[in-house]
Amino acid sequence: MPDGQSEKTENEAMPMPPQAPTGPAFAYFDQDEEAKALGLFEILSEDSSYDPANTARFDKALSLDLYRGMLLTRLMDKQFMALQRQGVLGFYAETLGQEAAGIGSAAALSSQDWLVPALREHGAGLYRGMDFGNFVAQLFGNANDVTRGRQMPLHPSDPATRYVNMSSCIATQLPHAMGIAMGIQIAGDGSEVCMGYMGDGATSEAEFHVAMNFAGVRKAPVVMVCQNNQWAISTPGTGQTASETIAVKGLGYGIESLRADGNDILAVYEVSKYAVEKARRGDGPTFIELLTYRVSAHTSSDDPSRYRDESVTKVWRTKRDPLVRMRVFLEKNGWLSEADFEAMVTQIEAMVRKSVEKQRDVTMPPLSSLIQDVFQTPWWRLEEQLATLEAIVD
């Protein structure tokens, strides 16, 4: 690893989150298979009202931690998007509006568990302790990047927290998540679980099908999480599938399928916890649909005004914002004052800024890195090619 270790101060700002106390039982989980897959589980309603009996699990420490994870995602997205617009970063994709889905589901994992991400789970990775400096170095693809600047921004890799490196291709990771779970089944000590993520568009891919089918047949300890943000670039949910819900697809594989309000982080956490604990007990896979909305564009290269009605987006942005919902919950419990909030914002923004300053002028990876990692040892032709290149560059 290059200069990655020098980021310790940032890691201290990102301690591993606390483990939650036992939660209450919910009638939702006792329904029949179809009712669960067609329903929608919710704890915090749109106006942040809730039944206190349902939130026993969420003490101050866990609640604040979940909120901080979402806030970090939102605040850093803002800064990185600005850097992309200035031309400092080549590419970026915001999580705006979906912060609860990623953070709430990953929070249900323990440190030994695996996270196989899609495009919008970097916040979840950071929540689980991925080194922030390494994450930023990857955005710049500089010499500090542990993946040696090989991929576009937002393709981080962090073996330490079992955050698996992804490709830009859609759904290719799902058979991998299922494969990890099969590995756990075959060779693990029974303590690990794997969580694989996808968007709604990915459910149309063959890889989704094969991964789900294998998981069902093998009863693998995997939790497949679909962040249904209702848009695959310009394709809406209705253009993606004729099924009533995404969750119901799980039934075709004999997999228990749950569906929750993806903008309600408490509900997301509860369904995820249920699924993770079930997998850990050896009771097989679960498919979770988290209903949310892609408030932002797909990526920095996209312009949604060309293909969708942004008045709908406005409803999700203003009335269903997951951060607002959770902040009201915290305020009602007296766990987050205005001053606490301001302090949290200031601390996060400073950390992000500091890390960007540290990474933005770091040089590119050395020329020699070009031929590393193709194979364990470069073969003769690669050595020749590097020598030719170095002769020209010198």
Judged by the rule CB under 8 A, the positions of this chain that interact with other proteins are 90-91, 141-142, 145, 148-152, 155, 167-171, 201-202, 204-210, 213, 216-217, 219, 232-235, 238-244, 248-255, 301, 306-307, 364-365, 367, 369-371, 374, 381-382, 385, 388-389, 392-393
Nearest approach in angstroms of CB 283 to other proteins is: 13
Bridge partner list, 227: 199, 290
Cβ count within 10 A of residue 208: 22
Cβ count within 10 A of residue 371: 18
Alpha-carbon distance of 218 to 39, in angstroms, equals 26
* Candidate list 148, 176, 298, 325, residue with the active-site label: 298
Nearest approach in angstroms of CB 296 to other proteins is: 16
Nearest approach in angstroms of CB 2 to other proteins is: 13
Are 78 and 142 a contacting pair, CB within 8 Å?
Answer: no
Q: What angle do CA 330, 335, 341 make, to 5 degrees?
A: 80
- Inter-CA distances, 27 with 39, 55, 193, Å: 12, 14, 25
Whether 155 is catalytic? no
* Candidate list 259, 294, 320, 325, residue with the active-site label: 294
- Helices 60-85 and 322-332 meet at what angle, rounded to 10? 150
The residues near 308 (Cβ < 8 Å, ≥ 6 apart) are 231, 234, 236
Rounding to the nearest 10 degrees, give the CA dihedral for residues 261, 264, 282, 220.
50
Nearest approach in angstroms of CB 87 to other proteins is: 11
Q: Which is nearer to other proteins, 189 or 375 (CB)?
A: 375
Nearest approach in angstroms of CB 165 to other proteins is: 11
Please give the helix or strand (H or E) that residue 78 lies within, else none: helix 60-85
Burial of 136 (0-12, 13-18, 19+ CB in 10 A): buried
Whether 307 is catalytic? yes
Q: Which is nearer to other proteins, 254 or 328 (CB)?
A: 254
Nearest approach in angstroms of CB 112 to other proteins is: 26
Nearest approach in angstroms of CB 34 to other proteins is: 8
Nearest Cα residue to 65 out of 269, 223, 356: 269
Are 245 and 37 a contacting pair, CB within 8 Å?
Answer: yes
**218-241 in b/e burial notation, b at 16+ Cβ within 10 A?**
bbbbbbbbbbbbbbbeeeebeebe
Q: Which is nearer to other proteins, 24 or 252 (CB)?
A: 252
Whether 294 is catalytic? yes
Alpha-carbon distance of 95 to 193, in angstroms, equals 25
> Looking at the annotation, which residues are catalytic?
294, 298, 307
